[in-house]
Amino acid sequence: MYMMEVDRVLRPGGYWVLSGPPINWKVNYKGWQRTKKDLEAEQNRIEEIADLLCWEKVSEKGEMAIWRKRVNTESCPSRQEESAVQMCESTNPDDVWYKKMKACVTPLPDVKDENDVAGGAIKPFPARLNAVPPRIANGLVPGVSSQAFQKDNKMWKKHVKSYSSVNKYLLTGRYRNIMDMNAQYGGFAAAIESPKSWVMNVVPTIAKMPTLGAVYERGLIGIYHDWCEAFSTYPRTYDLIHASGLFTLYKTKCSMEDVLLEMDRILRPEGAVIIRDDVDVLTKVNSLALGMRWDTKMVDHEDGPLVREKILYAVKQYWVGGKQTAVA
């Protein structure tokens, strides 16, 4: 079941690297304090499942073995036999939030030619960062065309340029760990792409479209999350947090205070926040942010004061709670 889940998240033509037990068990079984029989049976089972998944073993050296997933079903003769493997029945392989894992193989998209990559080939990085993701180009994200994606990409370059005119440190590398709380296609992350920074692109589970796959096809990293719950990370993880339309999205789902407090928890002292939203929503956010001792500044939309969407810039202050001793 676990290897089938690896197969689901692995891109066609991608690699799975297994390092450690049971690879090279004949040499290391004593150090691992396991029997030869046990380790041999485990490796045989892994090899058997890899064959079932139609992975090609490309290397085994020392304690490391590497398998490669086939680029499509046509290049996998054993997959043509329906009895050989149980295929998952779900029609949406992206619908996995809070779902139980099953011992089944997720079908690959159909191809016209045996040399085609299932789901579409991707360009090398960094060209793929601004190229239309294959799943959007192939119409697999409902309601999103290639033209709409390109328009969104252009818009975020404009937004980030405007951000940097207010927050002078944005593109300098000062903010190493960055989060986008409502990433959509990853346009914000693509616009600030730099070897000095990385962005965790969060796609809310209640978003209208499941766009996380498009984020990964751009060569970015991301995760699904429900912002009515705590984010799985340590306190003070991020240097900068970006949220566009997030509070409007969660307006009827959970309290604004809880979301802001979670942002405060994962933001380091003197870290920055950039929030885009409707002016009425941002006015409430600003009031709460001041109560958390954030320094804030609200500015107009890039297209002028008549646009209802505004931008709130904030900096978390470094302070310690508890009793203060007054000095005369």
Phi/psi for 127 (5° steps) reads -60, -35
Q: For the ranges 36-45, 71-80, 313-322, which has the lowest average pLDDT?
A: 71-80
Phi/psi for 276 (5° steps) reads -110, 135
Q: What percent of the chain has pLDDT over 70?
A: 95
Residue-level pLDDT at 68: 97
Q: Looking at residues 240-248, what average pLDDT do you find? A: 98
Cα 182 from Cα 159, distance rounded (Å): 15
Residue-level pLDDT at 96: 81
Is this prediction's pTM over 0.85?
yes
pLDDT at 177 > cutoff 90:
yes
Predicted confidence band of residue 70 (pLDDT cuts 50, 70, 90): very high
pLDDT at 123 > cutoff 90:
yes
Q: In the chain, where does the domain assigned CATH 3.40.50.150 lie?
A: 127-316
> How many angstroms separate the Cα of 2 from the Cα of each of 59, 187, 260?
21, 32, 36
Q: For the ranges 73-87, 209-223, 236-250, which has the lowest average pLDDT?
A: 73-87
Cα 200 from Cα 198, distance rounded (Å): 7
Residue-level pLDDT at 277: 98
Q: For the ranges 142-146, 231-235, 239-243, which has the lowest average pLDDT?
A: 142-146
The fold of the 127-316 domain, in CATH, is: Rossmann fold (3.40.50)
Q: Which residue has the tokens 């990559």?
A: 117
Phi/psi for 22 (5° steps) reads -95, 10
Query: What contacts 280, CB < 8 A, 6 or more positions away?
Result: none
Q: Looking at residues 168-184, what average pLDDT do you find? A: 96
Residue-level pLDDT at 43: 95
> How many angstroms separate the Cα of 81 from the Cα of each of 53, 70, 116, 143, 325?
12, 16, 21, 35, 77
Q: For the ranges 28-37, 70-79, 117-126, 203-212, which has the lowest average pLDDT?
A: 70-79
pLDDT at 94 > cutoff 90:
no
Q: Phi-psi region for residue 13, left (φ > 0), alpha (ψ -120 to 50) or beta?
A: left
